[in-house]
């Protein structure tokens, strides 16, 4: 896991899944979600996969897919900080 | 893509869990070099260590980079390639290939191997050349397919 993300002690909502299942999980379970392009960076990790890729916002937290080359895709929840405003601003 | 108009190819390596990956990367890097295409490798730390140990004299390996740093450079448009070969044996590999197809202008080749090569090939829904062979320990099925691919790459150079 990226050092920065790991230090944030993310809550793991979905473990060792596919990027498609991660996409469906966010779409079904997170009320506010934004489409991002492949390679979009949150903290020190890239969102990896085939469009559409979604990043969710739940209060002050971000929910997004994190893909590890050896272990598949995880859906993680972390404090969003300034990343939430950056995510919302790009939709306008 | 370089200032000297030299063709370049990115070889993108994910998890090195399947044995054929390391030898196939060395074989492809050698074949591309012989055809005048400069190979640049990007991969996880473990994948790069396997390469470095297999080719201590750097006869086949040239530039090697961290996977995430390479994605940074491409998304920030600091760098791009003419060809991109993504080594795939799991869903993460498909995800990385899809990302490359989106962020890079390179012609993307999805090299799919391992026990579930055919099923993984069926998952691909983005523009790329699919090269799939059920190869886990024996590299020959993938080697044969790679030889065909390198012919295409050499032809497309003209």
What CATH number did the domain enclosing B101 receive? 3.40.50.10160
Provide φ and ψ at A40, rounded to 5°. -55, 135
Give the pLDDT confidence score for residue A40 in this predicted structure: 96
Digit-coded pLDDT (tens) for B21-72: 999 999 999 999 998 999 999 999 999 999 999 999 999 999 999 999 999 9
How would you label A80-91 residue by residue, b for 16+ Cβ within 10 Å and e otherwise?
beebbeebeeee
Mean pLDDT of B6-34: 93
Cβ-count burial of B110 within 10 angstroms (0-12 exposed, 13-18 middle, 19+ buried)?
A: buried
pLDDT band at B6 (very low <50, low <70, confident <90, very high): confident
Give A65's strand partners: A75
* Residue A26: domain span: 3-89
List B residues 81-140 in contact with A (Cβ-Cβ < 8 A). Answer: 90-96, 98-99, 101-103, 125-126
- What is the Cα–Cα distance from B40 to B29, expressed in whole angstroms? 8
What is the DSSP code (8-state) at residue A66?
E
| Other C-beta atoms lying within 10 Å of the C-beta of residue A18 | 20
Q: Please, where are the H alpha helices in chain A?
A: 3-7, 19-29, 82-89
A5 pLDDT band, cuts 50/70/90, is confident
Name the one residue in this structure whose structure tokens are 């949150």.
A42
User: Using 50, 70 and 90 to split pLDDT, how confident is the model at A2?
Assistant: low
* Numbered residues of chain A with Cβ closer than 8 Å to any chain B Cβ: 2, 18-19, 37-39, 41, 44-46, 48-51, 67-73
pLDDT of residue B158: 43
Within a domain: B127: yes
Domain span at B134: 7-157
Beta bridge partners of residue B130, listed in sequence order: B110
- Of B21, B15, B24, the closest CA to residue B144 belongs to B24
In sequence order, the 6+-apart residues with CB closer than 8 A to the CB of B127 are B101, B108
- Give the residue with greater pLDDT, B24 vs B149: B24
Mutation target among B49, B95, B120, B124 for the A interface, most CBs of A within 10 A: B95
In a domain, B85, yes or no: yes
Specify if B2 maps to a domain: no
Question: How many domains is chain B partitioned into structurally?
Answer: 1
Contact present, B113 and B89 (Cβ < 8 Å): yes
Residue contact B92–A72, C-beta within 8 A: yes
What Rg do the C-alpha atoms of chain A give, in angstroms? Answer: 12
State the pLDDT at residue B155: 58
Query: What was the ipTM of the complex prediction?
Result: 0.93
Number of domains into which chain A is organized? 1
Best residue in B99, B100, B119, B126 for a mutation probing chain A (most A CBs within 10 Å)? B99
Contacts B102 to A, Cβ<8 Å: 37-39, 50-51
């Amino acid at each position: 896991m990226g050092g920065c993300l790991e230090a944030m002690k993310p809550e793991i909502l979905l473990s060792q899944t596919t990027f498609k299942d991660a996409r469906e999980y966010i779409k079904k379970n997170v009320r506010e979600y934004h489409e991002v392009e492949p390679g979009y960076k949150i903290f020190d990790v890239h969102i990896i996969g085939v469009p559409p890729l979604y990043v969710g916002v739940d209060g002050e937290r971000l929910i997004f897919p994190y893909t590890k080359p050896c272990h598949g895709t995880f859906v993680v929840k972390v404090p969003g900080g300034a990343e939430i405003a950056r995510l919302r601003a790009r939709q306008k | 893509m370089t200032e000297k108009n030299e063709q370049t190819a990115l070889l993108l390596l994910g998890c090195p869990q399947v044995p054929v990956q390391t030898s196939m990367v060395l074989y492809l890097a050698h074949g591309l070099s012989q055809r005048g295409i400069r190979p640049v490798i990007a991969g996880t730390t473990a994948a790069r260590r396997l390469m470095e140990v297999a080719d201590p004299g750097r006869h086949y390996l040239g530039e090697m980079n961290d996977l995430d740093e390479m994605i940074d450079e491409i998304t920030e448009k600091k760098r791009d390639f003419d060809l991109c070969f993504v080594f795939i044996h799991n869903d993460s590999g498909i995800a990385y290939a899809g990302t490359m197809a989106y962020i890079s202008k390179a012609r993307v080749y999805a090299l799919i191997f391992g026990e579930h090569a055919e099923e993984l090939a069926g998952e691909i829904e983005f523009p790329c050349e699919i090269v799939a062979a059920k190869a886990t320990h024996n590299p020959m099925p993938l080697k044969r397919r790679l030889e065909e691919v390198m012919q295409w790459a050499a032809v497309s150079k003209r």
